[in-house]
Structure 1
Amino acid sequence: MAFSGVATWGLWGGFTVIVAGMFGAAFLDGRQRQRKIYWVGWLAGGLIMTVAVAAQHPDRSLGIAGFCAAMSVLIAFFRTPFLKIGGKIYAASAGDRQPDPPEDG
Structure 2
Amino acid sequence: MILCAAASFVVGIVGSAFPILKSRKLSTASIQRRFYWTGCVSALALLFLARLDRWPSNLYLIFICGTVVIAIAFFRTSHIKINGRIWAAYAVLRRPDAPPAVPQHHDEV
Judge same fold: TM > 0.5, yes or no: yes
> TM-score, with normalisation over the residues of structure 1?
0.72
Give 1:50's aligned residue. 48
Which of 95, 98, 101 is the aligned partner of 1:101? 98
1: CA distance, partners of 2:83 / 2:50: 32
CA contact (8 A) 1:14 1:48 kept: yes
TM-score of the superposition, structure 2-length normalised? 0.70
Q: Name the structure 2 match of 1:41.
A: 39
| Aligned equivalent of 2:75, options 50, 74, 78 | 78
Larger of the two Rg values belongs to structure: 2
Aligned structure 1 segments of 4 or more residues deviating by more than 6 angstroms:
none
Task: Give the gaps of 5 or more residues in structure 1.
Answer: 1-5
Does 1 or 2 have the higher relative contact order (CA < 8 Å, sep 6+)?
2
How many residues in Structure 1 have an aligned counterpart in Structure 2? 93
Which sections of structure 2, spanning at least 5 residues, go unmatched?
23-27, 103-109
State the Cα deviation string for residues 30-84 of structure 1 (Å, max 9, x = none): 1011000000000000000012212x20112202220221011100000000011
Q: What is the SS of the residue equivalent to 2:64?
A: helix
* Partner secondary structure for residue 50 of structure 1: helix
Identity of aligned residues (%): 30
